[in-house]
Amino acid sequence: MPVKTVTASKLIEQLYSIGHIRVWSLAVTVIGDLSSHAGGNADVSAAAVEGTILNALFQRMGVKPEALRVALHRLRKEGWIFSEKNGRTSRYQLSATGRDETRAVWDRVYLPEQGIDSRWQTVIYESSPATQIDGAVKLSSNSYIVCESNKSVIDNPVVNCLSYPVAASSLPSWVEEKILISAHGGLAESLGDVLNGFDAASVDKSDNLDLLAIRMLSLHHWRRIALKPSSWLHMQQFEHGVIRQCHDRVHGVLNELKGIR
């Protein structure tokens, strides 16, 4: 049975209602994308984004103007962006720090398959570790799955643990739920479901703002998922799971809306 398409305004409403969107984080996604060359190039520039464009876009996405003002103030204060006046219009740019941070995660967010080849270790401690292990999937009080890039665990000779590699597609199904908890599995499932109702051919191409809102909200949700190392573990181990489906649908939408400004 074909999937019933929804209107652009309804799709934007559905995308905005997924999960909990922090406006300052959404602003980082938007300014980072609009500062890039054609929205698909890791050469993040110092291009400025007009405040009028940000205001119109965020209102179309369902964000109140005062919420955007608070978010932009926070990003300026924390050194992510800076702004300048051009007449009565403000222009916003990523700071050097903001550009560096955006470049550092660009491939993982924008390019398909960027992380699926990561290698993982099952790590078992004698007792529960004293501190939380970043990016790890907790299996029990003293056992975790850890990405081999986490040198503080894998290559640390003083860590009292037993570790062994995780082979591709070797994890039992009971581990999947634990991975999905770490990997924003619920968000991935919801995002994939909503985007199944998107048909670029049915959207009025004369209204770039609708298309841009759809692109930015899809990108923002995917960014949260893609920056979780365990998302790529799930795709590696459960190749037909919800994160793979979400990955494929998001990249299809980003490709359809590539260059929308």
Over the stretch 139-160, which tens digit does the pLDDT of each residue have?
A: 998 899 998 887 666 666 556 7
Tell me if residue 33 falls in helix, strand or coil. helix
Where do you find CATH 1.10.10.10 in the chain?
8-115+179-256
Q: 87 or 248: whose pLDDT is higher?
A: 248
- Any residues with CB less than 8 A from the CB of 45 and at least 6 apart, and which? 35, 36, 37, 99
Predicted pLDDT of residue 1: 41
The whole-angstrom separation of Cα 232 and Cα 247 is: 10
pLDDT tens, residue by residue, 185-200: 999 999 999 999 888 7
How many CA atoms lie within 13 Å of 187's alpha carbon, on the beta-carbon side? 23
Q: Can you give the pLDDT at residue 37? A: 53
Do residues 11 and 217 make contact, with C-beta atoms less than 8 angstroms apart? no
Residue in 150, 116, 157, 121 with CA at minimum distance from that of residue 135: 150
Q: Which carries the bigger pLDDT value, residue 44 or residue 167?
A: 167
Letter string b/e over residues 149-169, b meaning 16 or more CB atoms within 10 A of that residue's CB: ebeebbeeeeeebebeebeee
Count Cβ atoms below 10 Å from residue 214 Cβ, excluding itself. 25
pLDDT for residue 44 is more than 70: no
Q: At residue 71, what is the residue type?
A: A
- pLDDT tens, position by position, 159-170: 677 888 898 777
* CA-based R_g, the chain, Å: 20
Residue 151 confidence (pLDDT): 67
Q: Output the average pLDDT for the chain.
A: 87
Predicted pLDDT of residue 208: 86
Residue 163, helix vs strand vs coil: strand
pTM here is: 0.89
Kindly report which listed range (30-34, 46-50, 117-121, 158-162) carries the lowest average pLDDT score: 158-162
8-115+179-256 to CATH, choices 1.10.10.10, 2.130.10.10, 3.40.50.1100, 1.10.490.10? 1.10.10.10
- Whether pLDDT at 14 is above 90: yes
Distance of CA 90 to the CA centre of its chain: 27
